[in-house]
Amino acid sequence: MRRAISRRNFLGLTIGAAGLTKIGQAAEINDRRSFKSKFNHSAIDRKALVARHSPALSKFDPRSPLSIGNGEFAFTADVTGLQTFPHEYQNSMPLCTMSQWGWHTTPLRAGLDPTQLRLTQYDTHGRPVGYHTSSEGQTELYNWLRENPHRLHLARIGLALFLSGGREAQASDLTNIEQKLDLWAGILSSRFNVEDKQVTVTSAVHPDLDLLAVAIESNLIGAGELSVRFAFPYGSPEMPAVDWTQPDRHRSDILEQTRGSVRIHRAFETDEYQVAIAWTSEALFEQQKAHEFLLAPTKHSQNRRTPNYLTSQRRLPQARSTGRDFGARARRSIFPKVVTRARRSSSGA
């Protein structure tokens, strides 16, 4: 049964509902203003927000090595802050030094012609279109095209650590491992002990250039039990990006050497680049093998030194002056070296 309502009552109810709506809207606006004013005076602490996510390691973790870089150049390190124990990582997450410009192409065997690759035809909207989808009967050529060019591991840079008895230290000889990557500053700090002797390594990549700067502090330096080893591999399309079994297919030649720096020319069949290494303490730089070099401190060395950066043929910057700029940007004074992007001499990347 319907209940009759007069026009006067209907208008009264409508006006009342509208009033309640306005009151509700006003209350909501006041709540928003109150919420906004409450947080207007507390800006986000972006540094703290980023820093709370900075990763830390206390042991070797082959699946989670830490990397530093600038978007164009990257260096992945183990818990020593360098690439001292690459074999611990090679089957999980290889330690590599790579760049956007660093590519390698394995020479194509004589008799193979990339233009002769047979395509698999597929019907596409009523017309045949060929795609590179089958290696049947052409495996070698198919794989060569798929694998080349490939990223080049520019240099393996690691510590050569020795125990008091003369044996070279293994990963199991490291204790009290502490490593942290400061995501805000882009600085990797690593600390560990070898026979109760502490080693501190600080690593960073220049924000704009292809430069790795490293500071090392330890009593092992003065004792002659710590050096820096540089090794240069042949290129490979495999996951580790290295082939150490082809020493005759590439060159690592010292172009010039001074008391505190050295420049090495790296040459492959069709690719080349240069590596410049500089240090601040008394040290000797010697070639150990065809593609392996050792930076060893002298007896007069102090416990701190700063090695290495990569550079190109185009220009070799003044390391000290530009390094101060880098040190200021990194809010540290331990990065006095600089690098420019290296040059590829061939096409194909």
How far apart (Å, rounded) are the C-alpha atoms in residues 230 and 258?
A: 17
How far apart (Å, rounded) are the C-alpha atoms in residues 114 and 71?
A: 32
- Rounded to 5 degrees, φ, ψ at 331 are 60, 30
Instruction: Provide the residue count of the chain.
Output: 349
Contacts of 306 (CB under 8 A, 6+ apart): 213, 214, 215, 216, 279, 280, 334, 335, 336, 337
Percent of the chain with pLDDT over 70: 74
- Sign, CA dihedral 69-73-75-81, equals negative
Residue 310 has pLDDT above 70, yes or no: no
Q: Are 205 and 338 spatial neighbours (Cβ–Cβ below 8 Å)?
A: no
Would you state the pLDDT for residue 256? 94
- The CATH code for residues 57-102+152-329 is 2.70.98.50
How far apart (Å, rounded) are the C-alpha atoms in residues 97 and 80?
A: 15
- Sign, CA dihedral 132-137-138-143, equals positive
What confidence category does residue 338 fall into, taking pLDDT thresholds of 50, 70 and 90?
A: very low
Q: 56-112 pLDDT, tens per residue?
A: 999 999 999 999 999 999 999 999 999 999 999 999 999 999 999 999 999 999 999
**Domain boundaries defined on the chain:** 57-102+152-329, 116-149
How far apart (Å, rounded) are the C-alpha atoms in residues 88 and 94?
A: 9
Look-up of token digits 């924000």: 207
Contacts of 217 (CB under 8 A, 6+ apart): 199, 200, 201, 303, 304
Q: Which of 3-12, 54-63, 282-291 has the lowest mean pLDDT?
A: 3-12
Percent composition of the chain: helix, strand, coil (DSSP 3-state, to 5) = 20, 35, 45
pTM: 0.77
Look-up of token digits 């060569």: 144
**Mean per-residue pLDDT of the chain:** 82
What confidence category does residue 317 fall into, taking pLDDT thresholds of 50, 70 and 90?
A: very low
What is the b/e burial string over 85-123, where b = at least 16 CB atoms within 10 angstroms of the residue's CB?
Answer: bbebbeeebbbbbbbebbbbbbeeeeeeeeeebeeeeee
Q: Please return the burial class of 345, using the count of CB atoms within 10 Å of its CB with bins 0-12, 13-18 and 19+.
A: exposed
Beta-carbon-side half-sphere exposure of residue 283 (alpha carbons within 13 Å): 32
